[in-house]
Chain A
Amino acid sequence: MSSALPLNVDRVHLSSQEVARYSRHLIMPEVGLDGQKRLKAASILLIGAGGLGSPLGLYLAAAGIGRIGLVDFDVVDFSNLQRQILHGTADVGRPKLHSARDRIQAVNPEVQLDLYETKLTSANALDIIRPYDIVIDGTDNFPTRYLTNDACVLLKKPNVYGSIFRFDGQASVFHPPQGPCYRCLYPEPPPPGEVPSCAEGGVLGILPGLVGCIQATEAVKLILGNGEPLIGRLLLYDALRMSFREFKVRRNPKCPVCGDKPSITALIDYEQFCGVRGQESHAPAPADQQGETTVEELKRRLDRKEAVFILDVRNPPEYAICQIPGSTLLPLPELPQRFGELDRNREIVVHCKSGMRSAKAVQFLREQGFTKLKNLKGGILAWAEQIDPSMPKY
């Protein structure tokens, strides 16, 4: 059992309209009038208004959480609509926080919304998180996940965690010292590129709906002080097999942030910690990139009927959406087994969606002794933008 959050409900009052709105909560002994007042007295910070943030924002508002903070700096894109149900077709191009505010207020105008249209950083995280009872991690990248975790540990806030990949979801509640933190489970992030994001690897649109609802349930339980929270347990959901499994996670006494002798006592540089900064500056560095070519240059050479071999290292479902004319598909994961199929005497222009995977492929082929290699800068997205506007972008 969890010890209930310290909430002051003495001065919380429910109007007759609120009694009507929350009546299905009020008649249950597990919530009741006291529980509903606790929900109204509580505040939750939601980091990310995307796939997980959508069901979280909608259900937590509907449930009558008194104050919800939203952190997001993104703008709604067409590719978000398949899963981010806070945003509608008409919202494409608007800041996510604006559409989120409109939708949440339409669901429940009683909720106080605090909007933080900013990226969560080491400089602002503690100030943003401090005034809330519970933090919910609905972010989509490792640096922000480690930042959220460390800030929550430092501020002793419960961190309701959820994460998704294709058909797989994870959820837990991190609240040391009652249980472990995220770093007890994953002390260090994987190297950049090892674990694809939703944009790179894809995700079932419904998946964040389910995982976000699990997070929302856990947050409500923490506020009510009822039931058994997911503290010390990692819940795994596999949508393809439709199965749930749970694993026990213990607090690691040697954890660098929540352990007995923590080495991290202030926020660090999380982009650097996750190796992301190096990766971003990697693309345009001109000096060591004489192995690059541009879509304009490639187009000129194709127009001159030069026999350029174009190697597409994307995955087959991506190739089915769009291709550069004359390209040959050989997915990056198959390259180690199949590079023998390539002619090493011929010049090879390698491309992927935006240039990251093809850079890996070029590096791998160099190690195998290939010398006539060029990475196509900006990938097929650059081709769609600058050469063939009729090509679909994904």
Chain B
Amino acid sequence: MKVRLFARARDLAGADTIDVDLPAGATVGDLRRLLGRRYPALAGLLQHSALAVNDDFADDALTLPVNAEVALLPPVSGG
């Protein structure tokens, strides 16, 4: 599964995209926790970021579909 990172998340993880393997039936919340463990620098921001699954924002209870493309969108405040 591919996770695409945006804005500040890209800087903190030092990557544009991350490949992750999660067992079938894993949820968005499982993915969030896995990313936080793998990228400790990202952990704080992760809890306050939005995750979109196949271009649709999802809450943590959603079961990830097979081959989902996930986007991690942290909030941005500049104006």
Q: Are A165 and B76 in contact (CB under 8 A)?
A: yes
Binds B, one of A95-103, A243-251, A301-309, A374-382: A243-251
Q: Are B79 and A52 in contact (CB under 8 A)?
A: yes
Residues of A within 8 A of B77 (CB): 140-142, 145, 163, 165, 195, 197
A48 near B: Cβ within 8 Å? yes
Q: Are A245 and B55 in contact (CB under 8 A)?
A: yes
Which of B11, B71, B76 neighbours the largest number of chain A CB atoms within 10 Å of its CB? B76
Bound Cα distance from A167 to B6, whole angstroms: 10
Q: Are B52 and A247 in contact (CB under 8 A)?
A: yes
Residue of B nearest to A185 (CB): B50
- A195-B55 CB under 8 A given contacts A142-B75, A145-B77, A165-B78: no
B15 near A: Cβ within 8 Å? no
Q: Are B8 and A163 in contact (CB under 8 A)?
A: no
Q: Are B73 and A234 in contact (CB under 8 A)?
A: yes
A278 near B: Cβ within 8 Å? no
A198 near B: Cβ within 8 Å? yes
A139 near B: Cβ within 8 Å? yes
Q: List CB contacts (< 8 Å) of A185-211 with chain B.
A: 185-186, 188-191, 194-198, 201, 203, 208
- A189-B57 CB under 8 A given contacts A163-B76, A333-B12: no
Residues of B within 8 A of A234 (CB): 57, 73
Residue of A nearest to B77 (CB): A142
Q: Are B57 and A195 in contact (CB under 8 A)?
A: no
Bound Cα distance from A53 to B56, whole angstroms: 29
Q: List CB contacts (< 8 Å) of A166-190 with chain B.
A: 166, 168-170, 185-186, 188-190
What is the 8 Å Cβ interface bit string for chain B, positions 8-50, against chain A (1 contact, 0 not)? 1001100000000000000000000000000011001100111
Interface residue count on the A side (C-beta < 8 Å): 46
- A48-B44 CB under 8 A given contacts A168-B7, A195-B8, A248-B57: no
What is the 8 Å Cβ interface bit string for chain B, positions 46-79, against chain A (1 contact, 0 not)? 0011101001110100000000000101111111
Residues of B within 8 A of A189 (CB): 48, 75
Residues of A within 8 A of B49 (CB): 190
Residues of A within 8 A of B73 (CB): 170, 234, 236, 247
State the Cβ distance, A202 to closest chain B Cβ, in Å: 9
A158 near B: Cβ within 8 Å? no
Residues of A within 8 A of B76 (CB): 163-165, 168-170, 195
Residues of A within 8 A of B6 (CB): 168, 236, 238
Residues of B within 8 A of A138 (CB): 79
Bound Cα distance from A165 to B12, whole angstroms: 14
Q: List CB contacts (< 8 Å) of A49-86 with chain B.
A: 50-53
Q: Are A336 and B41 in contact (CB under 8 A)?
A: yes
Bound Cα distance from A166 to B12, whole angstroms: 14
State the Cβ distance, A176 to closest chain B Cβ, in Å: 15
A355 near B: Cβ within 8 Å? no
Q: Are B55 and A186 in contact (CB under 8 A)?
A: no
Taking a contact as CB atoms closer than 8 A, the residue among A141, A163, A186, A333 that contacts B50 in the complex is A186
Residues of B within 8 A of A336 (CB): 40-41
Bound Cα distance from A191 to B71, whole angstroms: 21
Taking a contact as CB atoms closer than 8 A, the residue among A191, A198, A247 that contacts B57 in the complex is A247
Q: Are B79 and A247 in contact (CB under 8 A)?
A: no
Residues of A within 8 A of B45 (CB): 190, 194-195
- A195-B40 CB under 8 A given contacts A248-B56, A333-B11: no
Instruction: Give the 5 A-B residue pairs with the shortest CB-CB distance, closest first.
Output: A140-B79, A190-B48, A198-B78, A165-B76, A164-B78
- 8 additional A-B pairs beyond A190-B49, A333-B41, A336-B41, beta carbons within 8 Å, are A141-B77, A162-B79, A163-B77, A168-B7, A170-B73, A189-B48, A198-B78, A208-B79
A–B complex contacts, Cβ < 8 Å, 27 sampled: A48-B79, A51-B79, A138-B79, A139-B79, A145-B77, A163-B78, A164-B78, A164-B79, A165-B76, A168-B7, A170-B76, A188-B48, A190-B44, A190-B48, A190-B49, A191-B48, A194-B45, A195-B45, A197-B78, A201-B78, A234-B73, A246-B55, A247-B55, A248-B56, A333-B11, A333-B41, A336-B40
Q: Which residues of B contact A (CB under 8 A)?
A: 6-8, 11-12, 40-41, 44-45, 48-50, 52, 55-57, 59, 71, 73-79
